[in-house]
Structure 1
Amino acid sequence: MGKFDLAVSLIPLGGVTEVGKNMLAIECGDDIVVVDSGVKFPEEEQLGIDLVIPDITYLLQNRERVRGILLTHGHEDHIGALPFVLKDLNVPVYGTKLTLGLVESKLEEHGMVKQVDLRLINPDQKLRLGSFQVEFFRINHSIPDGVGLAITTPAGLIVHSGDFKLDQTPVDGRVAEFHKIAAYGTRGVLAFICDSTNIGREAMTPSEKVVGETFDRIFRNASQRIIVATFASHVHRVQQVINAAVKYGRKVAVVGRSMLNVVDVASRLGYLQIPPKTLVEVDEIDRLPREKVVILATGSQGEPMAALTRMATHSHRQVTIEEGDTVIISATPIPGNEQLVARTINNLFRTGADVIYKEVALVHVSGHAGQEEIKLMLNMLRPKYVIPFHGEHTHQAVFAEVAAKVGIPRENVFIANIGDRIELSHQGGRIAGKVPSGRVFIDGLGIGDVGNIVLRDRLHLAEEGIVIVVVTINKDTGAVLAGPDLISRGFVFVRESAELMNQAREKTVQALEKCQQQQITEWSIIKSAIRDELGQFIQVKTQRRPVILPIIMEI
């Protein structure tokens, strides 16, 4: 028997070399289980894209072997792709109560909830999926009901941390299940897939409760309205806002669709404790004294259409921020959102509000483990191999250095790319090629119909603008019957650039005359001639390269 005859393959379809769209396939023999199914939000140059999801081509090619999808927790980067994935891969989905509650709400929006097989788990049960036995252990994160996974395979035990921190004083009192984690280490762990998001922080991540202490101090001193923006899914943070509001006799209004949805699901399932008559509708707040109101809003990432962003620009229908209000931005910018958040903070200061954010007060702590917590997990589990996930190249490289400090050889830390097949056994480990993988863009109702070529055209249009050339020709002789007329959008303002546009028109006429002299009547050749002549002229005159779109009509 060869050293890889009895091996397990770990195949990241997302969540490595990036933060977002987490998805991992675990394959052994005839069985595949999938861990998480998340989205990633578009990057700045991905114009018009709503969401980015993993490419599941490999799972579709092996659909009869996929035994189910295991969810670690209810954040968008772990569950957000489910409505799109389950349309083509309708397998059972396993998760804890709050996680499935958020999934169900998401599926209802897509009209899919009755077609999907959602199966509730609790951290104390064991699950048999083909040749895999799955166990769960409670971890702490910035959303309740998160779990890690211990998956026994024919090749050995695989432990997946989920997103985690080791909070000794969690808001809900449920500490991580250290005894289970230590027991897995005693049994022997073949591979540990570990959250690396906060690997750059040397110390342990502070407890979520310290944010509640900061809230208490701010609420005690605030003299007018308090507006708190945070991630909608951060249920423990929302609970602490509600606790402070109740303590200081304030009513709470919830603003923003995602925030309303999470508050509804979490309170209905018992994860949010809200005393009666604490919540009020947003249209009631103007009838209450300003010092008796707290507004809980989305927009901590500066999203253009989110509630806080619109409040900051006085474009929100129901809420206007006034001088003397206190605004708390209880989050840290996701990489890529820094400018949006800075712009929102700047606009809030313009209103005269007292703005409190992470740099000036402890109003946010991470939900991800720092180096010391990761070292503790590595020492408890003592895995043979480690795969850092939920991080970019930098996170992965630093993780390898940290793992070496606790005695894990550098060659046993796999720095994976999306689509890598990491093949492991107790005899050895290797990257054994790649599977079909990548990213799929969601644009409106379209799934995957926008690719790199379309995005390149959108970027070109956004940066350089467009010049449309409309001309009518005789289909037999090629003679110009009308035009050419030039229409510009995003290139120059026509009224102020009349001379340039007239010269451009003359160049277009010259190109058409050359075609007529050569008796060229083929559309594609005429269009190419117009693009070449006009593009060269505009480049020389303006040092710009707008999209040139000839439209030829034949009579």
Structure 2
Amino acid sequence: MSTPVFDPPELEPGTLRVTPLGGLGEVGRNMAMYEFGGKILIVDCGVLFPEETQPGVDLILPDMGPLRDRLSDVVGLVLTHGHEDHIGAVPYLLRLREDIPIYGSKLTLALTAAKLKEHRITPRSHVVREGERAQVGPFDLEFIAVNHSIPDALAVAIRTEAGLVLHTGDFKMDQLPLDGRLTDLRAFSRLGEEGVDLFLPDSTNAEVPGFTPTEAEIGPVIDQVMAKTTGRVIVASFSSHVHRVQQVVEAAHNNGRRVALLGRSMVRNMTIAEQLGYLDVPEGALVDYKKSHDIPDDQIVYMSTGSQGEPMAVLSRMANGDHDIQPGEGDTVILASSLIPGNENGVYRVINGLIKLGANVVHKANAKVHVSGHAAAGELLYCYNILKPKNVFPVHGEWRHLTASANLAQKTGIPEQNTIVGENGTSIDLRDGEAWVSGQYDIGFVYVDGSTVGAITDADLKDRRTLGEEGFVSVIVVVDKKTGEIVSGPEIHARGIAEDDRVFDKIKPKIVKALEEAAQKGVRDNHALSQAVRRTIGRWVGTSLRRRPMIVPVVIEA
């Protein structure tokens, strides 16, 4: 059953409105809009990567429709951390208004600036640190250290006259973090004492019992895998996973190997991380890819992108034989990441391709080569008990994750009516400790396809799927403009259909008959004649060939 759509009413004075534009019901394109006193604060602006059912799509953006007519009211953009699902859509937001001030940690803003440079946009960046506060329009912001799979992640506490809101961004409670930077539970406790009116927690792992394992457990496993490998080692990870790259560099160094970075985003992000001091690289540990071919197989590690089976990423191209590096006997490939929902088929296709080439593939299912960056149920329970929020609005996750997070909140004593499970476009109003649903915007997908943004629709994608799955049939007929009689044709061509084109000879007389009947009725409109052709051949193909191809009738007047 579809959710009723109704725009929220005009915001009353003293009320805060929170509207997620992406990130609910999905893992990706995180973006939330906070409105108070006629001004708007945005938290995060990320992308979602396409699934197999979205052929040709490069990226999926948050639906910024509710924001487009209010761009002049935006006072700032807060970025919680530097992952693509939180910063990847920033260039597309700044295309709409380039001078929006951006707030974030040093690493987050550096990664964002590098991305914006490719779009020829110079951001108005403001570096903030944990423990700092900033007044941005009517919003009093406090930044809090949280631990995640990338350094420098921040939660943000948002204070207005309407109350206190805590937006965690992505986080977990790793007690032995590689960089020594813990999630600041003391700050969480202090906020709990002050009184949190609305809590927006990362819910991705709300279904997972217990606690997320520590990153420190991964390094020794990668080290052992490298020690046993006689050939090349190829490690695939997210291009911004600084902690994982750090572990790979250290393991390679311990085993007398050097590391070559593959993939434009991997090279760019790790260069930034090293320059800013977030990645510690022993002297001589890295080697340029162009020089890596001269190094013996047992002395090289390739760190690449493609852990999610992305078709154009380095690892997929290796598996398909489209890359200079061809994994084979004696080589080991490590997929050092978890599966993002929706990517399973692509990842397993890559794994099968690599194994077929003779490589040994190590992944999360057969070795502990990755831990999640998101808080599991036990950690979320700690947060709910420490914060004791009056209201909860779970974010970041599919529907099952959001519901599981709400259920955890209720187990800690938060009333069911105070736990709101919403979706993209659900507006929550907050005032005097009370939160309620005030509206539901009609939110859709915004597709990036090459250089076009938002031009591709779901109907276009349906056509693409039809072309890929059912094939294509074109029918060309030339008719006399005055009499409607057929001058030439019908000429039928098919693509993606196993049968020979001669099979369509059986339907040509029926097409002729349909056009003659239309002519006798005085039909001369090209569209109407085309529809008659489409209906005739469509019925025949459906019953005779059991196919539903894309049919393109072309009626030409002579």
Per the TM superposition, whether the score is higher than 0.5 is yes
Is 1:127 aligned to residue 134 of structure 2?
Answer: yes
Is 1:462 aligned to residue 471 of structure 2?
Answer: no
Which residue of 1 is the match for residue 526 of structure 2?
523
Does 372-381 or 545-554 show the bigger shift? 545-554
What is the distance in 1 between the residues matched to 2:264 and 2:296?
Answer: 25
Is 1:57 aligned to residue 60 of structure 2?
Answer: no
User: How far did residue 137 of structure 1 move?
Assistant: 0.7
Does 326-335 or 307-316 show the bigger shift? 307-316
Post-superposition Cα deviations, 1:47-91, rounded to whole Å, max 9, x if no partner, equal 222111112122222223211110000111111111111111331
Which residue of 2 is the match for residue 534 of structure 1?
537
User: How far did residue 435 of structure 1 move?
Assistant: 3.7
Check the 8 A contact 1:55/1:438 in 2, yes or no: yes
User: How far did residue 356 of structure 1 move?
Assistant: 0.9
Corresponding residue to 2:256 among 249, 265, 289? 249
Does 58-67 or 126-135 show the bigger shift? 58-67
What is the distance in 1 between the residues matched to 2:513 and 2:443?
Answer: 49
User: How far did residue 40 of structure 1 move?
Assistant: 0.9
Which residue of 1 is the match for residue 40 of structure 2?
32
User: How far did residue 519 of structure 1 move?
Assistant: 4.3
Equivalent position SS for 2:293 = helix
Equivalent position SS for 1:421 = strand
Corresponding residue to 2:95 among 78, 87, 96? 87
What is the distance in 2 between the residues matched to 1:141 and 1:283?
Answer: 33
User: How far did residue 493 of structure 1 move?
Assistant: 4.1
Q: Counterpart of 1:170 in structure 2: which amino acid?
A: P
RMSD: 1.7
Post-superposition Cα deviations, 1:195-239, rounded to whole Å, max 9, x if no partner, equal 000011111101111111211221222222111111111100000
Which residue of 1 is the match for residue 506 of structure 2?
503
Which residue of 1 is the match for residue 400 of structure 2?
394
Corresponding residue to 1:186 among 168, 193, 197? 193
Moved over 6 A (4+): none
What is the distance in 2 between the residues matched to 1:304 and 1:435?
Answer: 33
Which residue of 2 is the match for residue 475 of structure 1?
481
User: How far did residue 518 of structure 1 move?
Assistant: 3.8
Post-superposition Cα deviations, 1:101-148, rounded to whole Å, max 9, x if no partner, equal 1111111111223xx312221223211011211010111101111000
Q: Kindly report which structure 2 residues correspond to 1:245-284, keeping only aligned pairs within 5 A, or say none.
A: 245-284=252-291
Cα distance 1:124–1:429, how it changes in 2: closer, same or farther (>3 A)? closer
Cα distance 1:294–1:550, how it changes in 2: closer, same or farther (>3 A)? same
Which residue of 1 is the match for residue 110 of structure 2?
101
Does 438-447 or 290-299 show the bigger shift? 438-447
Check the 8 A contact 2:147/2:153 in 1, yes or no: yes
What is the distance in 1 between the residues matched to 2:391 and 2:287?
Answer: 52
Q: Counterpart of 1:509 in structure 2: which amino acid?
A: V
Which residue of 2 is the match for residue 411 of structure 1?
417
Is 1:328 aligned to residue 331 of structure 2?
Answer: no
Which residue of 1 is the match for residue 382 of structure 2?
376
Equivalent position SS for 1:195 = coil
What is the distance in 2 between the residues matched to 1:59 and 1:519?
Answer: 50
Equivalent position SS for 2:379 = helix
Is 1:168 aligned to residue 175 of structure 2?
Answer: yes
Is 1:48 aligned to residue 51 of structure 2?
Answer: no
Equivalent position SS for 2:366 = coil
Structure 1 gaps of 5+ residues are none
Q: Kindly report which structure 2 residues correspond to 1:133-148, keeping only aligned pairs within 5 A, or say none.
A: 133-148=140-155
Which residue of 1 is the match for residue 547 of structure 2?
544
Equivalent position SS for 1:389 = coil
Which residue of 2 is the match for residue 338 of structure 1?
344
Check the 8 A contact 2:59/2:449 in 1, yes or no: yes
Which residue of 1 is the match for residue 454 of structure 2?
448
Q: Counterpart of 1:156 in structure 2: which amino acid?
A: G
What is the distance in 2 between the residues matched to 1:322 and 1:256?
Answer: 20
What is the distance in 1 between the residues matched to 2:119 and 2:522?
Answer: 56
Check the 8 A contact 1:4/1:423 in 2, yes or no: no
What is the distance in 2 between the residues matched to 1:285 and 1:239?
Answer: 19
Q: Counterpart of 1:59 in structure 2: which amino acid?
A: L
Check the 8 A contact 1:4/1:424 in 2, yes or no: no
What is the distance in 2 between the residues matched to 1:139 and 1:46?
Answer: 34
User: How far did residue 426 of structure 1 move?
Assistant: 2.8
Which residue of 1 is the match for residue 245 of structure 2?
238
Corresponding residue to 1:12 among 20, 29, 46? 20
User: How far did residue 256 of structure 1 move?
Assistant: 1.3
Q: Counterpart of 1:524 in structure 2: which amino acid?
A: H
Check the 8 A contact 2:51/2:343 in 1, yes or no: no
Corresponding residue to 2:234 among 204, 227, 231? 227
Is 1:360 aligned to residue 366 of structure 2?
Answer: yes
User: How far did residue 305 of structure 1 move?
Assistant: 1.6
Check the 8 A contact 1:58/1:436 in 2, yes or no: no
User: How far did residue 190 of structure 1 move?
Assistant: 0.7
Equivalent position SS for 1:46 = coil
What is the distance in 2 between the residues matched to 1:215 and 1:138?
Answer: 28
Equivalent position SS for 1:442 = strand
Check the 8 A contact 2:197/2:433 in 1, yes or no: no
Q: Counterpart of 1:12 in structure 2: which amino acid?
A: P
Check the 8 A contact 1:507/1:537 in 2, yes or no: no
What is the distance in 1 between the residues matched to 2:230 and 2:79?
Answer: 43
Structure 2 gaps of 5+ residues are 1-10
Equivalent position SS for 1:536 = helix
How many aligned residue pairs are there? 547
TM-score scaled to structure 1, two decimals? 0.95
What is the distance in 2 between the residues matched to 1:294 and 1:89?
Answer: 42
What is the distance in 1 between the residues matched to 2:557 and 2:494?
Answer: 22
Check the 8 A contact 1:326/1:354 in 2, yes or no: yes
User: How far did residue 10 of structure 1 move?
Assistant: 1.3
